[in-house]
Amino acid sequence: MTDQFSLPPQAAGPQLGVARRNLELLRTVPELAQRYEGLDGPLTLDGLAALPPLAKDDLNVALAHLEPRAATGATWLFQSGGSTGAPKVGYAPTGFYMAGVYAHWQPLERTDVFVNAWGAGRMWGAHFLAAGLADRSGCQVIALGSVTADEYEDWLAFFAARSVTAIGGTPSVLRLWFARARAAGLELPALRKVLWLGEAWQPQLEQDMAVVAPHARRWGMFGSTETWVVGTNTPDCPADTFHPLPEQLVHVGEGDLLDFTTLNPDMLNPVLRYRTGDAGELTSCPCGRAGAAMRVLGRRDSVVQVRGLGLHVNELIARVEREPGVSRAQVLITEAKGRASGVDVLLLTGQGAAVDLDGLRRELLSATFTLSTAFLHDPESFRVLAVDALVSNDRTGKTADFVVREGS
């Protein structure tokens, strides 16, 4: 396939000086210098497509060497990977580039009462980024962060009393808010806007939203700790389709993998063909807005090895989530000494739903080559279980499609 860019050459050209500067910076990193040898003169889109892509580890190596600092104000360090013992860091200036986002996307207005429900602290950037956006709009902000399981109802009553009009969080966290409100019979009639970032949208959320806050609609941002916000969408766009910001150059390369190049001269991370692992395509958005839109097709690394065979997690989850009564599913792989000792499909089911767990298990086992082959001699090591909660990251509230844990 041919390379595709979100901007035509005449639009991207004048701003490619930023990419050129980042190329020079990456060349000064001893571990990366060799990869970027032999490229001189101004960058073109073709020249950019010929550069090697940057992976998360490459960018972290570069940042450890470059230690960028904001021109004015504070330089914020955020976790961009690694364990909590030794976090890898990405950098951002105060404001988190939200002036550029707000210039093209205004989900919040001065009259809004906005609950910022992205978790704060532990070096995660989403809460602060959302605060930066709210600052631009001049709205009222309730800086809530994450709450514990027994606190939802009291806070929901507070939201209703304050006539909250907007809430933002990861879709996994938003699902908890709306599911709790629905279960408790609480309504948020003033709520109009649901801002989301950090994971793919979860369509099942809309069922609870329709009951709890019938006037609420979703407003999405796409990005990463390294790139910051790349694109945004509105209620009129499909949930997997985003409009890239003009300061972000999106490229679709080999294997439909997306990579991102910043054209913003204030960006501290040298984001130059940075790959998040997401695949996608450039398309036109049915909302009618002109220009290339980016449709995100999900991560290409959703194939996990189970006893030497590739298990397509996305396909398995999609099949299970079509089952009536199943609202969300997750694949939990237990490993012992580097080998999968078991695979569990965990199911969140709706209230009063009676899912035939045994029947579903038998069907998945017989229809999934990897499972039937890998567990030929111990089929009891593959289970389908209904659970009260999926396994989520305490820091970010994100719930991944698959989790690997050490066990026996």
Residues in touch with Zn ion (CB under 5 A): 237, 285, 287, 289
Enumerate the β-bridge partners of residue 79: 89
CB 29 within 8 A of CB 64: no
Q: Measured from the CB atom, is 101 or 237 closer to Zn ion?
A: 237
Q: Measured from the CB atom, is 248 or 396 closer to Zn ion?
A: 248
Q: Work out the end-to-end distance of the chain between its first and last CA atoms, rounded to an integer number of angstroms.
A: 45
DSSP string spanning 364-390?
HHHH-HHHHHHTSS-GGGEEEEE-SS-
One-letter identity of residue 72 = T
Q: Measured from the CB atom, is 177 or 242 closer to Zn ion?
A: 242
Task: Give min distance, CB of 241 to Zn ion, in A.
Answer: 6
Task: Give min distance, CB of 287 to Zn ion, in A.
Answer: 3
Q: Measured from the CB atom, is 20 or 104 closer to Zn ion?
A: 104
Q: Measured from the CB atom, is 285 or 364 closer to Zn ion?
A: 285
Task: Give min distance, CB of 352 to Zn ion, in A.
Answer: 37
Determine the Cα–Cα distance for residues 378 and 54; give it in Å rounded to an integer: 41
Q: Measured from the CB atom, is 105 or 159 closer to Zn ion?
A: 105
Determine the Cα–Cα distance for residues 398 and 365; give it in Å rounded to an integer: 28
Task: Give min distance, CB of 203 to Zn ion, in A.
Answer: 17
Determine the Cα–Cα distance for residues 216 and 206; give it in Å rounded to an integer: 9
Buried b / exposed e over 16-31, threshold 16 CB at 10 Å, is: bebbbebbebbeebee
DSSP string spanning 6-51?
SS-HHHHGGGHHHHHHHHHHHHTSTTTGGGGTT--S---HHHHHHS
Determine the Cα–Cα distance for residues 316 and 328; give it in Å rounded to an integer: 12
Q: Measured from the CB atom, is 237 or 249 closer to Zn ion?
A: 237
Task: Give min distance, CB of 7 to Zn ion, in A.
Answer: 17
Task: Give min distance, CB of 162 to Zn ion, in A.
Answer: 31
Task: Give min distance, CB of 229 to Zn ion, in A.
Answer: 15
Task: Give min distance, CB of 237 to Zn ion, in A.
Answer: 3
Determine the Cα–Cα distance for residues 292 and 284; give it in Å rounded to an integer: 6
What is the 3-class SS of 95-129, one letter each residue?
CCCHHHHHCCCCCCCCCCEEEECCCCCCCCCHHHH
Q: How many CB atoms lie within 10 A of CB 52?
A: 12
Q: Measured from the CB atom, is 143 or 287 closer to Zn ion?
A: 287
Task: Give min distance, CB of 282 to Zn ion, in A.
Answer: 13
Q: Measured from the CB atom, is 124 or 219 closer to Zn ion?
A: 219
In eight-state DSSP terms, residue 85 is S
- The sheet with strand 248-252 has its strands ordered as 4-5, 248-252, 257-262, 274-283, 293-299, 241-244, 228-232, 217-224, 193-196, 166-169, 113-116, 140-143
Q: Measured from the CB atom, is 289 or 361 closer to Zn ion?
A: 289
User: Strand 228-232 vs strand 241-244: parallel, antiparallel, or unpaired?
Assistant: antiparallel
Task: Give min distance, CB of 248 to Zn ion, in A.
Answer: 16
Torsion over CA: 106, 242, 50, 3 (sign): negative
